[in-house]
Amino acid sequence: MSQHTIIQNPILPGFNPDPSVVAVGDDFYIATSTFEWYPGVQIHHSKDLKNWRLAKRPLDRKSLLDMRGNPDSCGIWAPCLSYHDGLFHLIYTDVKRFDGNFKDAHNYLTTCETIDGEWSEPVYMNSSGFDPSLFHDDDGRKWFVNVIWDHRHENNRFGGILLQEYCSKQKKLVGPIKNIFKGTKLGLTEAPHLFKRNGYYYLLTAEGGTFYTHAMTMARSKNIDGPYEEDPHGYLLTAKDHQDLGLQRTGHGDLFDAPDGQSYLVHLCGRPLEGERRCPLGRETGLQKTVWGDDGWLRLESAISTESEGRATTSNGLPEIEITVSNLPLHPWPAKTEKHDFESPDLPSDFQWLRTPTPETFMSLTERSGYLRLKGKESIGSLFEQALIARRQEAFSYTAETALEFEPENIQQMAGLTCYYNSRKFHYCYVSIDDDGQRYVDIMSCLGNGDQMLNFPLREGHLGEFKTDARFVLPAEDKVYLKAEVDRHVLTFHFSTDGQEWTRLPVNLDYTVISDEAGGGDGCHFTGGFVGMACQDVSGQQCYADFDYFSYVER
C-alpha cells in the first residue's frame, strides 16, 4: 500500500530562488541562487521531497568565486545542477553589473563526484549572458544554453536562448552558436533548460520578469537547434492573473522524475504580505506535480481535467500551496539548532557573509573560545569588505537575539544586530560611543531611497529636528544583549544589560523595507531578508566585537 504525504509549499522557505533540481537514485538535490552572499550556491538534499537539509555551498574559495565590488543582487545568478557519468556538474554565473545596459556576466562549470566534496577548479564557458544550463544528450554530446543579453536600446534586452556544444575533453564550448528561441509574446525570456522525451527536445523557459507577471513556458522541436514550436495550451505555470493565490511570482524552475516515474516541477515563488506586494522572505522554492499528456505536452496535474482524457487543457497551470506525493517514505532530518553558542571552530551552516572569499580577515571562532569575534571592517553599505554574518529569514515572524562585548574607542566603531536585505535596505540596532566617550545603543536604517542616506528613527522627530538625547546610554563596559522581534510588517528592537530585563527601543520600524519590492518598485532587487551580527570600524583600526551567542526562533 503506497504512502501518501502532504507537502506544503514553499519547500525551501526564505531566500532560495531559481531552483535547479536533479534526482540521483533515491536522492533529490536542489541548487539555488545566492547572489552576493558567500559561499556561493545553496544545494539542499531530500529523500522524500518534504524534508530538506542544506548539503553544501560549493563555491567556497577564491578560485571559484570572488565577488568583492559586485553590486547588490549581482554575483551568483541561476545555477544549473546536473549529474552524468558519475559526476555532478554545476554551471553558475557571476554577474558583475546591475544597472545600465550591460551585465558583465561570466559563466563557469565546476564538477564533483559527491555533493559534499571539494568541487573542481572552474572551467570558463562564456560571457554572453546569464541563466546558463548544461544538457547531457543520450548520444553522449553535451549542450550549453544561456540567455543572450542585448545591450542595445532599440532591442529586447532578453535577446533569446543561445545553444552551443560543450566538449568535455577540451573543456570548452565548441562549434557554431545559434539562437534557438526568442520566446513568446510575454517576453523577457530566460531560465532555459533542455530535456528529451519520445524523440522531442523540450525547452523550458521563464518569461514575464521575476515579479508579478512571471510565468513558465515550454517549446519543443525534433532537432536540438530548432525550430521550436510553442506549447499551444498556455503557460505551464503562472500566477500573474490570479492575485488572490497564496503563491505569487511563480516561474523560473526545472523538471525531474522521481524513481516511481512521477514527474515534478520545482519553481521560484513569492509570498507577499497581506495588503502589500512585498515579500520579505524573498523568492522561495516551490514544488508542483506534473503530467505528460497524450499529445506530448507537459501540464501541472491540477490543470488536467477529467474530461480531457489525458490531453492537456488550454488553462494555464496555477500553483498549489499543497500537493500530495506517494511512494516516498518520510525521511526527516535532525531539527535545526535555534541557538548557536559558537563552541565549534567552524561557523554554523545557517550563516553566510557578503562577497569576500577571505572571511578569516574579519572573523574568528578560535581567538576567544566560545565567542564569534568580528573585526570591524568597512561600513554596512560597503560592496567590498564587510564584517557581517547573517542567516536567512524563513518565517514571517521571528525573534533573533545575541549578546556582545564591545568597547569602541571612537565614533566610527560600531557593532550590533541587523535585519538586512542589502546595502541600501536594512535596520541596524548597534552599540557605539559618542564624542564624550559615552557608550550607547541606537538604531540606523536605510530605506532603499535613491540617495541611500541613513535614517536614525530614534533621533529624527516628526518636524525634521534631530534629537541628540534620544539614544540609550550603556555602561562603559559589560555585555550588551540585543533582540529583534519581527511580526510580519513590523520590527522592534530591544536591549538589555543582564539578559533578563529588556528595554524596548520606542519605535515601530517598517519591516517591509526588507523586501525585493521596496525602494523603487518592481524589478529592484532579487535576494531576501537576513538577520545577523555585524561590526564596523571605518577608521581602519579593526576594533572587534565578541558575540557570545545567536538565537533565531520562529513564531
Catalytic residues, by residue number, are 18, 190
Report whether 129 contacts 113 (CB < 8 A). Answer: no
User: What are the backbone dihedrals phi and psi of residue 360, each rounded to the nearest 5 degrees, phi first?
Assistant: -65, -15
Residue recorded with cell 546591475: 98
Indicate left, alpha or beta for 355 from its phi (over 0: left) and psi (-120 to 50: alpha): left
Residue recorded with cell 515550454: 218
Tell me the residue type at 507. V
Interatomic CA distance for residues 480 and 122, integer angstroms: 44
Chain mean position to CA 537: 28
Q: What residues does 144 pair with on adjacent strands?
A: 134, 164
Q: What residues does 503 pair with on adjacent strands?
A: 495
- Residue 60: helix, strand or coil by DSSP? coil
Interatomic CA distance for residues 242 and 484, integer angstroms: 34
Report whether 224 contacts 179 (CB < 8 A). Answer: no
Q: Please state the three-class secondary structure of 491-539 as a single string.
A: EEEEEECCCCCCEECCCCEEHHHCCCCCCCCCCCCCCCCEEEEEEEECC
Q: Kindly state the cell numbers that stand for 133.
A: 544550463
Q: Kindly state the cell numbers that stand for 362.
A: 574579519
> What percent of the residues of the chain are helix, what percent strand, and what percent coil, each to the nearest 5?
0, 45, 50
Cβ neighbours for 386, distance < 8 A, ≥ 6 positions apart: 353, 354, 355, 356, 362, 377, 378, 379, 380, 534, 536
Interatomic CA distance for residues 408 and 543, integer angstroms: 7
Using alpha carbons only, give the angle 115, 118, 122 rounded to the nearest 5 degrees.
100
Interatomic CA distance for residues 61 and 364, integer angstroms: 17
Chain mean position to CA 411: 34
